[in-house]
Amino acid sequence: MKIALAQLNYHTGNFESNTQKIIDAIGHAKGKGAELVVFAELSVCGYPPRDFLEFPEFIELCESAAKQIAAYCIDVACIIGLPSPNRRVEGKDLFNSAYFIENGKIKSVVNKALLPNYDVFDEYRYFEPATRFECIEFKGFKIALTVCEDLWNINDNPLYVLNPMDVLIVQEPDLMINIAASPFSYLHDDARIKILSDNCRKYDLPLLYVNQVGAQTEIVFDGGSLAFNAKGEILDEMKYFEEDIQIYEFSGGQIIGREVVSHHTLSDLEQIHHALILGIKDYFNKSGFSKAILGLSGGIDSAVVCALAAEALGPENVMAVLMPSIYSTEHSVQDALDLVNNLNCKHEIIAIKDATIAFDKMMEPVFKDLPFNITEENIQARCRAIILMAMSNKFGYILLNTSNKSECAVGYGTLYGDMAGAIGVLGDVYKTQVYQLADYINREREIIPLNSIIKPPSAELRPGQKDSDSLPEYNILDKILFEYIEQKKSSRDIIASGFDEATVRRILKMVNVAEFKRYQTPPILRVSPKAFGMGRRMPIVGKYLS
């Protein structure tokens, strides 16, 4: 039996596109001799559909798409993912389902049992968990078909009291197939491989696993679909961050014609780079946009975002706006111009001096003799946001936010100023990682000017300003933030590991006090195990650790 895994990039709610992609993949795989073509979790509607699932018409369109796909399954079968109605009155109205389609008909429906409700997942909000489990039969073989999380309850601290494979294995299946929507983080591929490999060894069965690829707003899917033998060894690893279709032959209880291969390891930095490029590209393509705008200061963050945007969208579609103030240094303007020339992207220079003077005069009757402070600094940042949004409105550009994770964490940014934007490109990338990204971008030639990398970071909103005036050095700050945010350690545990107590308590307080700012910032491309946004939900007025 020849089985194709179709790793595709879906668009949430775009039934016409998703359906056609699936039909085209079926035709392609059938032409290569495939007898069964397997697609990802919720492939028909895209993942995650969120509250689209509350609209009856959305579910009807899913069913209609499934029927269209079924009509093309003559002399070839397929497995697709979609939400399906729960016909029982009790429980949630929907299941997260896998349809097995053969000879133009839906032969079996397999429902997901383990519904994740952690980090970016919110499936129990919508779906009823399955309680009955049966293998599907095709070409004389029994297939244990599961949906994503249903294979993840296999570790020393299980999240669920049920394990679907423990039920399915009693039916003596020949092969496991798992359809998934497994989001990317730069630490996730190793964990994913271990979990799937452990299943093969526990149940002594080979496994075909298909993931989706592409970005849905802030969530990136990296692909990397897999084939394992019964020993849990990798027989094939499909492309990362690209669509891919591969065909596997199953015979005699094993996947044949494939040798054991090593995991195709990409460095954390390479993964982050590829994920950000894909995230930018899909955000624009799936939203119907083509042109990006950003403020280019001559600093490292905006330089990295500009370079990533130029790679993702093409330099001709990127507008970099230089907005020097009276405190901007001459070398910062030159660094920004050097970057623009290296990338060959569009640019404008619009000084904000006149705007800030106008605001100073306008506010003088109210501020009177009060000294210059953060108020005037923020006015400068907000003047820049006004300019960028004016150009966005006038010319159809979409504003990219350039704040990094370190800044977002401690609130080192101006709300409605430099924290504005439609999508946060670096909001899940710590400052120390931004420098590493700059070096990676420069791996073949100098794109980001060296001076942007080596000079002390500064917002340049007052004379001689440096980030270190307000924050600990980034090499210390980022380590503490990682322990708190990603590792979820308490102040007590972080201090016990050797960090200065006063510094730790100051940083954690800054993080929690800044929650109100993060609540109002754009969605952030998720590349870490714990990103700001839907994956980290904190109370704004909470007292703990503040």
Query: What whole-number distance in Å separates Cα of residue 429 and Cα of residue 403?
Result: 9
Q: Residue 223: which of 265, 180, 258 has the closest Cα?
A: 180
Query: β-pairing, 226-228 with 219-222?
Result: unpaired
Query: What whole-number distance in Å separates Cα of residue 16 and Cα of residue 3?
Result: 25
For residue 112, indicate whether it is catalytic.
Answer: yes
Residues pairing with 265 in the sheet:
none
For residue 486, indicate whether it is catalytic.
Answer: no
Q: Per the structure block, which two tokens stand in for 387?
A: 């300019």
In contact, 99 and 106? CB cutoff 8 Å: yes
Question: Residue 288 carries which side chain, given as an amino acid letter?
Answer: G
Q: Per the structure block, which two tokens stand in for 199?
A: 């299943």
Query: What whole-number distance in Å separates Cα of residue 514 and Cα of residue 340?
Result: 33
Q: Residue 475: which of 436, 448, 518, 442 has the closest Cα?
A: 436
Question: Residue 501 carries which side chain, given as an amino acid letter?
Answer: E
Which residues lie closer than 8 Å to 498 by C-beta, 6 or more apart?
Answer: none
The backbone torsions φ and ψ at residue 272, rounded to the nearest 5 degrees and listed phi first, read: -60, -45
Q: What is the DSSP letter of 241?
A: S
Query: What whole-number distance in Å separates Cα of residue 21 and Cα of residue 44?
Result: 10
Query: What whole-number distance in Å separates Cα of residue 397 and Cα of residue 291?
Result: 5
Number of neighbouring beta carbons within 10 Å of residue 277: 19
Residue located via tokens 């370190």 = 406
Angle among Cα 358, 376, 366 to the nearest 5 degrees reads: 65
Q: Per the structure block, which two tokens stand in for 409?
A: 């964490």
Q: Residue 289: which of 184, 441, 421, 383 has the closest Cα?
A: 421
Q: How many alpha carbons lie under 13 Å from residue 114 in its C-beta half-sphere?
A: 19
Q: Residue 493: which of 477, 474, 480, 511 has the closest Cα?
A: 480
For residue 231, indicate whether it is catalytic.
Answer: no
Angle among Cα 516, 519, 521 to the nearest 5 degrees reads: 115
Q: Which of 30, 112, 281, 517 is catalytic?
A: 112
Query: What whole-number distance in Å separates Cα of residue 497 and Cα of residue 186?
Result: 24
Number of neighbouring beta carbons within 10 Å of residue 85: 14
Q: Which of 45, 62, 135, 148 is catalytic?
A: 148
Strand segments, DSSP code E, in 367-449 are 398-401, 423-424
Q: Which of 2, 30, 35, 41 is catalytic?
A: 41
- Cite the active site residues: 41, 112, 148
